[in-house]
């Protein structure tokens, strides 16, 4: 059973960038779909991006709200998935989570069985 550990959050000024990491512990992300989500206080959890972690397939999917600003990627060892966030805005402030589903789909945002504890991102104006 894979465990997920997020890192890379912090405080950044508007217009800045951050890269979040989601590391697999106790296994790899091989044959998983890994997604990134965020939740701001008083708001529902929001899907951001997902990536398929298969040797021959790194397909991705993005929410319209972050397309062009955020990029999801993975390392070749299938241990870490990244979320590069550029042109950050104060409204991007939230707790960011990664999640994983074995043999999952890029298109089902309610499928994820494994979740990390989250990493806080705060964007100042």
Q: b/e map of 101-111 (b: 16 or more CB within 10 Å)?
A: beebebeebeb
Please report, in tens digits, the pLDDT of each residue of the chain (125 residues total): 899 999 999 999 999 999 999 999 989 999 999 999 999 999 999 999 999 999 888 999 999 999 999 999 999 888 999 999 999 999 999 999 999 999 999 998 899 999 999 999 999 99
Give the pLDDT score at 78: 86
CB-neighbour burial class of residue 99 (10 A; exposed 0-12, middle 13-18, buried 19+): buried
């Amino acid at each position: 059973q894979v465990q997920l550990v997020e890192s890379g959050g912090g405080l950044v000024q508007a217009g800045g960038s951050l890269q979040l990491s989601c590391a697999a512990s106790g296994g790899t992300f091989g044959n998983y779909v890994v997604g990134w989500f965020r939740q701001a206080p008083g708001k529902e959890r929001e899907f951001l991006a997902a990536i398929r972690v298969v040797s021959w397939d790194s397909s991705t999917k993005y929410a319209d709200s972050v397309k062009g600003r955020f990029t999801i990627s993975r390392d070749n060892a299938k241990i870490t998935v990244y979320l590069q966030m550029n042109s950050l805005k104060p409204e991007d402030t939230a707790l960011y989570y990664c999640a994983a589903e074995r043999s999952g789909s890029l298109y089902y945002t309610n499928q994820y069985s494994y979740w990390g504890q989250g990493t806080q991102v705060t964007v100042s104006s």
